[in-house]
Structure 1
Amino acid sequence: MIHKELIEILKLLSPSGSVVSLDVETTGLRPEEDMIIEVGATKLNIEDQSYESYSQLINPGIRIGEFITELTGITNNDVEQANVPTIDEIKDEFTDFYSNEKGEQHLIIAHNANFDIDFLRKNGFKFTGTIIDTYDLAFVLLDKGEYNLQALSSLFNINVDKFHRAKNDAEATLNLFIELLKVQVNLGSINSKFSDIHLKENSGIKFAPKFISNYISESNSIEKGKRLDKEKVIINKKINKKIKFPDKCSDFFSNDGIGRYIENYEKRLNQIEMSEFIEKKLPKPKINLIEASPGTGKTLGYLAPIVIDILKNNSKAVIATNTIALQDQIINKDWALIRSYLEDSGELGDINISILKGRKNYLCKEIIKHYEPNDFREARVLFKLLKWDEFTLSGDISEVDLKNDHYVFSKFSSSNESCIKKCNKCYIDIARKNAKESDILLINHSLAMSTSVTDRSLLKDINYLIIDEAHEIQNVATDAFTKKVRINTFLSLNKSIKNYLDSIKNNPNYDTKYLINFINKSEKFIEKLEILNIFLKENIDNQKNYGKYIFDDNSLNSTIEMIDVYEFAKEIMAENLFERVYVNYEEIEETLFQNIINSISMLENEISKLISIFSLEDNNMVAWFEMFNQENFELISSPINVKNELRETIFKDQNNVILTGATLTSFDSPDEFCNQIGLVYLDEYRIFDSEFDYENNVLFYIPKDMPEPNNDLYIQNLSDLIVNISEKDLGKILVLFTSYSSLNSVRKRLKESTLNKKIISQGVDGRAARVISKFKKEGSILLGTGPIWQGVDFGFDVDIKVLIISKLPFAVPNDPLINARSLKYIDPFNEYLVPDAVRRFKQGIGRLIRSNRDFGAIVCGDSRIITKTYGESFLNCLPGYSFNEDLIIDSGNYIKDWIDNHE
């Protein structure tokens, strides 16, 4: 039964007396080309809470592809039966289903409604009433998670026999709508904020949170700050001492020490040695490097000596990491253990730890109060932030998931001009205050590399700096000092400013001439960018150079289109149009003018970046265009080396630095790594090898009949290798690729094979976090690349038995940045590309063994590891594995026998 309060709201939402959820299955994603193959719907008659269903297969008149059949279970034979109607033949009966006896449309619900409605409209169906999308509701009301129908049904315990069948999906969507409606009703007074926002809506699909808020009273409220702020762990209390917190690391890592708080605790000698090494180095101003193999427990290995030193000497430490995942691990796992230890010893109140990020990561409280969204995407993000703002204590955007709309957050972040100049009590200010009071401060690499005076102060007056995930700092520095501009960004900002102008141009109280002049210039500039876009598309297509077009002084000076954009951009900046607009409108307090200033500031910044990229004054920069589609290009310039940038930021005035990571050396030497990051002098480096029994727990298998990756038969042979191994039911298999193109080619062949295994593919099935989650629950084989290769933690509940390295992970040599860096070496391949690939290779093979309990096989699908002289460099980095070379056809049996004998 549906709650009485919800029934009353449903009556207001749908005066026709019923709510209908619908879904269609189709031959593809494009309404102009693809056809409907099934229609399903569920109707809730509100007054008596009765349900009706509609379900019908449709003859599309075209063939159904294999992928759709696999997804839905609907075959060509199913829809070609004589009794299966065409879409035209069900038009009247289905229209009657979603309308009342007067012909009035009921409230229609759909998940990703644009997809279903566009297909139905294309086929002649009329919709005259309200349609709302449960995706919009879920996106706004739920902070994190996946917003697809399957994940949401699982979250709300909605049972579905089989997804991707129209009737089932429609029924699930209606149940989901009721659950989400409960969530929105319970927001209480937040709904009044939703209803106050003005939206430019079309006559069809309504923005669900706004539409529903108009019919909800403020009878419910939620206390602000009710939930735990995960990003700040500051405890200010003293308790009676029960045990003594150790004053040296050897006692900390004992059964009577941290062993009290870890179930089945086992001492790790390499962890203890690492912590003692740091313990000796902390008091001395030196720069040290530590490579700690997987399984060392390095975060606890450096936290222990830090905490001991803080308690002894009241020191202060900054820990810089690359990933949010590692910061979460430090706070929620390693610090949680130490926190319990400190609490039991009465020392907890003496140590504060917090996380600080850059301005762009924090919400501006003032901007969201008055912002008027320009489209549905902005509305979705704004409503989500308004709801979240009622609960968050940190304002850190990592607390919520914006999916593909994350770029919209820039309009609401503390990096906006109005927040920087006018706010002093925003979330960023609270976070910085906490940072100054902290004994241990966690920041990310990019913040440590900031050039702003405020951010630089974070690294002043500290006793030591720990740089974890140090193997990434060259890449982070490259990204931090890379400049990028996209034509779509100019279009979006210009559109926003024009919308603001439309709102005020008829108001006699405002002089809009400066704004009009600015927009005229901006539109002319965009016209020139679009002409350049046409030129670039033609030239890049002709080059066939991975969609990239490198340019230098010669190409810039010889290309009229580039010169035109460059000169006009300089003209706009020279006329100081931005300052004129700002000076004339900065004193006006209305939100509209604050939005204008923010948008103009962002546009100024984009034009300034474009000028900097085109200027080509810095010999250390390489510049290129990159095409994404026919309408959009990106202009990029990146530093060839980042030595000076790192010396002037993260290493500046730092005398006590420890760099640590799992893959910092090549051939047991840190020289290449130090050269890349500009470390001229290193006091000492240590390698702490893993204690895992690799010889007995890891088989390294090389199929000696594999063709090289550039051979036409390579993809087919690699697919055969995966099939041969997978058929033996060995457990979960992870396959790492160096590109999406090869991943997708192999996926296609695996799908065409007789292999009866659940295949999860990064990209097709979602981003890294999502595919890993699916792999844990249901997958037999995971095809991954990028972040999955470089260190995503699968957790101890994922037992990977076979890791297949499809190809040695060499960087693409004709990538503009890689090519420019290669030119700095006498022998680029052996001095730069091979060491870089070896480090990546070490990261990849580290995915298999993460604890003493793990065992399995690593298979290298790249025969160059045994046929080329440089292959020895890769083999030499293997830590004593069992080794075998054999044929592809024998791989499955050999690996199965090895695993069976191990067990």
Structure 2
Amino acid sequence: MTDTHYRTLIRDNYRRLGAAIAGFKPRRAQNYLVAEIGRVLMGHYQPSRRILVAEAGTGIGKSLAYIQAAVPWARQAHKKLVISTATLALQEQLIEKDLPLFLRHCPPAFRFVLAKGRGRYCCDHRLAQLAEGEAQFSLLEPAAGLSSDEQTLVADLWQARQRGDWAGDRDSWPTPIDDGLWQRIQAQRHGCQPQLGHQHCPFHLARNELDKAEVIVVNHALLLADLKMGGGIILPEPEACVYVLDEAHHIADIARDQGSARLPLRTTRRWLEQFNQGLGKHTSGLNAPELQKSVTQVQDALQQQIPSLNSLQQSLTESALTTDEQGCLRFAAGELPDALHLQLVQLKEENTGLQRSLERLQTQVAEQLKLGTLPLKQAEPWLSDLSQAQLRTEQTATLCELMTRPLGSKHVPPARWLEQDDKSRDISLCATPLAVGYLLEQWCWSRAAAVIMVSATFTALNDFGYFRRAVGLKSDDGSRYLRLNSPFDYPGSRLIVPDIGCVPGDDGFDQALIEQLPHWLAQQQASLVLFSSYRQMQTVAEGLRAKGLSLLVQGEASRQGLLQLHRVRCDGGSPSVLFGTGSFSEGLDLPGHYLTNLVITKLPFAVPTSPVEEAMAEWISLRGGNPFMELTVPEASRKLIQACGRLLRSETDQGRIVLLDRRIVTRRYGAALLAALPPFTQEITD
């Protein structure tokens, strides 16, 4: 596609959308975002690395902007457009509103679909067997019976599948399906395969739709899980994709989760023991020498690994561990005791052997099934447990790799720790990579046809550096950065910082909140009060209710239930006060009269209490840095901007923000936090 053709198509589509949308108003920032995405996609800046990081404030219209720019380019370049989000709400907006709108009015035509992971779909074979009372999905235990309610639900699910009224995905069934029941019918990676006669199962039908679609909407977790496995497992391979990562400030945290591993020693050992016993019991009557040989190889490998897990558990138990209040012991600087390191090296080698033997057995079962010498009814329990065993060995392999990876002065060591559960008497070894930028570079940045990342909160302290370091981008690698301000009337709203006589950390701060909040809630119709902790929120709520205030408190009802009641009160003209913690600081949309008074009780500083946070702070200190200024303050800046973003949700909204944390004007970092906020009219009490 030539530049002229592309620009003409974008302009024509823009006119079509303007004519189709009631009350359409041109947005200069939105047009600039469309143009900049287009320049990156066309390779104007760096043809070999088409990456854009665009911070676009609330109200710009990010989703319609990237759809306008990316759909035509992806179609002409014969690439799949994969739009990934962090929240279900945005996925629903894209699938139900934005993409249908663009498709109706703008060329070129395209098909779009929402992608879900394998575990969200049932397996028709497993559902049918359970409905017919013939199911035995595990070699480890006899099939458990169903309650009468479960029998009724299974019958309803199967009949709906037969009639074509249900697509087989868990999310589209009108009532919740219990986890235990769903695990008995969900699709599994190794058992539910087209070559084993499962080509008409819901997951594979959905996978076929992905192949036909030009635009795929997905969540960050599924996208990164697929990329971690090399891509092309559920979603198309990265080289065939243009990625739009919306709400992309979550990417580093989700990549860290994908790269993490956890190994509960006692639980894993017991599962492998049961698996070993099941193999022996169910192969005794088989007349299949090759299959029997593969089973023997698996059992030999298990006889090596099971004692190693037991020995590892025993040695850790006998070492008189000194754990914290949560039963956690972090290995400082990632350094393991020599004995533990040696045991994990041995476990890693044994686990590799077990993985190979499981793969051979899985191949043998599949071959016997194809030849007809092993009936499907008999093969499916094998495939189900082999799938579970392979997942466990993969997790063990990841854990051992992270735990035994050599520590170098130039590389950030992974966070390594163990957790002791006194109730179950289990010890879990845990590891998480702190630096995930190299993973994202390997999985996506270096392979994708193009990557467009958008968010309202990329910058911290007015700089992209914090985000860039977290995701592995460099200032000179060809990636482009764009920052567009929101069109909202920020100067029309006030940011008030009063002096309440104390600051967070002082003994009397909770009581000061109880005394001060009635003043800042009085005469206000729609208020949201954000707290730093549940404990503090509950303490203050109890104190205010004793004064006669009516409150809607997070955790006392579902999130949607609280918001619905809040809207009803606001629509009826009654004052309404919502209390919430950090999760209410992001993704909460209360436009117009549903929120005019936002109270933030404390600057959102994260206390490094988790092993991952402690390890990151430790690494910064070891290389001579200041964890508070390099980690805590930038993250607090980003979270404070998000919290303040709850107030204005449209161009006509106005209100006030009351920040009850005086440190923003008394501490040296405060000026930078204030300067990074939108240009509210500031009222700071001397």
Give the TM-score of the pair, scaled to structure 1.
Answer: 0.60
In 1, the alpha carbon distance for the partners of 2:202 and 2:331 equals 42
Distance 1:795 1:703, change over 3 A: closer
Structural mapping, 1:87-166, within 5 Å: none
1:321 aligned residue: 85
In 2, the alpha carbon distance for the partners of 1:582 and 1:307 equals 41
Corresponding letter in the other structure for 1:299? S
Determine helix, strand or coil for the equivalent of 1:663.
coil
- Residues 365-424 of structure 1 deviation map (CA, whole Å, 9 limit, x = unaligned): 323332545376995896785466455665443334887955874554444321246333
Determine helix, strand or coil for the equivalent of 2:58.
coil
Corresponding letter in the other structure for 1:434? E
2:438 aligned residue: 644
Matched, 1:830 2:629: yes
Q: Looking at both structures, which has the greater relative contact order when contacts are Cα pairs under 8 Å and sequence separation is at least 6?
A: 2
Structural mapping, 1:347-496, within 5 Å: 347=107, 350-371=109-130, 372=135, 374=144, 386=158, 389=161, 391=164, 394-400=167-173, 405-406=178-179, 409=182, 412-420=185-193, 422=196, 423-446=198-221, 447-448=223-224, 449-455=227-233, 458-460=236-238, 462=240, 464-486=242-264, 490=268
Matched, 1:816 2:615: no
In 2, the alpha carbon distance for the partners of 1:521 and 1:744 equals 52
In 2, the alpha carbon distance for the partners of 1:400 and 1:525 equals 44
Distance 1:498 1:574, change over 3 A: closer
- Show structure 1 runs of 5+ residues with no match: 1-244, 888-903
Determine helix, strand or coil for the equivalent of 2:616.
helix
In 1, the alpha carbon distance for the partners of 2:145 and 2:265 equals 19
Corresponding letter in the other structure for 2:110? I
1:136 aligned residue: none
Matched, 1:305 2:305: no
Corresponding letter in the other structure for 1:427? P
Structural mapping, 1:508-527, within 5 Å: none
In 1, the alpha carbon distance for the partners of 2:146 and 2:427 equals 24
In 2, the alpha carbon distance for the partners of 1:597 and 1:533 equals 34
> Are the equivalent residues in 1 in contact too, given 2:460–2:638 (CA < 8 A)?
yes
Determine helix, strand or coil for the equivalent of 2:192.
helix
In 1, the alpha carbon distance for the partners of 2:643 and 2:430 equals 29
> Are the equivalent residues in 2 in contact too, given 1:570–1:611 (CA < 8 A)?
no
The structure carrying a bigger helix percent of its residues is 2
Distance 1:530 1:340, change over 3 A: same
**Fraction of identical pairs, as percent:** 22
In 1, the alpha carbon distance for the partners of 2:418 and 2:260 equals 13
Which has the larger Rg? 1
Corresponding letter in the other structure for 1:665? T
Determine helix, strand or coil for the equivalent of 1:539.
coil
Please, which of 753, 757, 766 is the counterpart of residue 550 of structure 2?
757
> Are the equivalent residues in 2 in contact too, given 1:490–1:603 (CA < 8 A)?
no
Corresponding letter in the other structure for 1:436? D
Question: 1:598 Cα shift?
Answer: 1.9
Question: 1:850 Cα shift?
Answer: 0.7
Please, which of 91, 94, 98 is the counterpart of residue 330 of structure 1?
94
Corresponding letter in the other structure for 2:644? I
Corresponding letter in the other structure for 1:758? L
In 2, the alpha carbon distance for the partners of 1:387 and 1:627 equals 46
Question: 1:352 Cα shift?
Answer: 1.5
Distance 1:683 1:604, change over 3 A: closer
> Are the equivalent residues in 2 in contact too, given 1:287–1:655 (CA < 8 A)?
no
In 1, the alpha carbon distance for the partners of 2:433 and 2:188 equals 24
Matched, 1:292 2:56: yes
Corresponding letter in the other structure for 2:330? I
- Show structure 2 runs of 5+ residues with no match: 1-5, 136-142, 369-373, 408-412, 571-575
Corresponding letter in the other structure for 1:821? M
Question: 1:662 Cα shift?
Answer: 0.7
The count of corresponding residues between Structure 1 and Structure 2 is: 625
Corresponding letter in the other structure for 1:817? V
Please, which of 38, 44, 51 is the counterpart of residue 279 of structure 1?
38
Corresponding letter in the other structure for 2:68? A
In 2, the alpha carbon distance for the partners of 1:778 and 1:664 equals 35
1:267 aligned residue: 26
In 2, the alpha carbon distance for the partners of 1:306 and 1:691 equals 23
In 2, the alpha carbon distance for the partners of 1:596 and 1:539 equals 42
1:72 aligned residue: none
Distance 1:883 1:623, change over 3 A: same
Distance 1:387 1:269, change over 3 A: farther
Distance 1:530 1:313, change over 3 A: closer
Please, which of 588, 594, 601 is the counterpart of residue 806 of structure 1?
601
Question: 1:700 Cα shift?
Answer: 1.2
2:450 aligned residue: 656
In 1, the alpha carbon distance for the partners of 2:501 and 2:179 equals 42
In 1, the alpha carbon distance for the partners of 2:443 and 2:286 equals 50
Structural mapping, 1:640-719, within 5 Å: 640-680=434-474, 681-696=477-492, 698-705=493-500, 707-719=502-514
Determine helix, strand or coil for the equivalent of 1:432.
helix
> Are the equivalent residues in 1 in contact too, given 2:435–2:470 (CA < 8 A)?
yes
Distance 1:627 1:310, change over 3 A: same
- Residues 138-194 of structure 1 deviation map (CA, whole Å, 9 limit, x = unaligned): xxxxxxxxxxxxxxxxxxxxxxxxxxxxxxxxxxxxxxxxxxxxxxxxxxxxxxxxx
Question: 1:509 Cα shift?
Answer: 8.9
> Are the equivalent residues in 2 in contact too, given 1:496–1:599 (CA < 8 A)?
no
Determine helix, strand or coil for the equivalent of 1:264.
coil
Question: 1:711 Cα shift?
Answer: 2.1
Give the TM-score of the pair, scaled to structure 2.
Answer: 0.78
> Are the equivalent residues in 2 in contact too, given 1:292–1:687 (CA < 8 A)?
yes
> Are the equivalent residues in 1 in contact too, given 2:489–2:653 (CA < 8 A)?
no
Corresponding letter in the other structure for 1:695? P
Distance 1:568 1:258, change over 3 A: closer
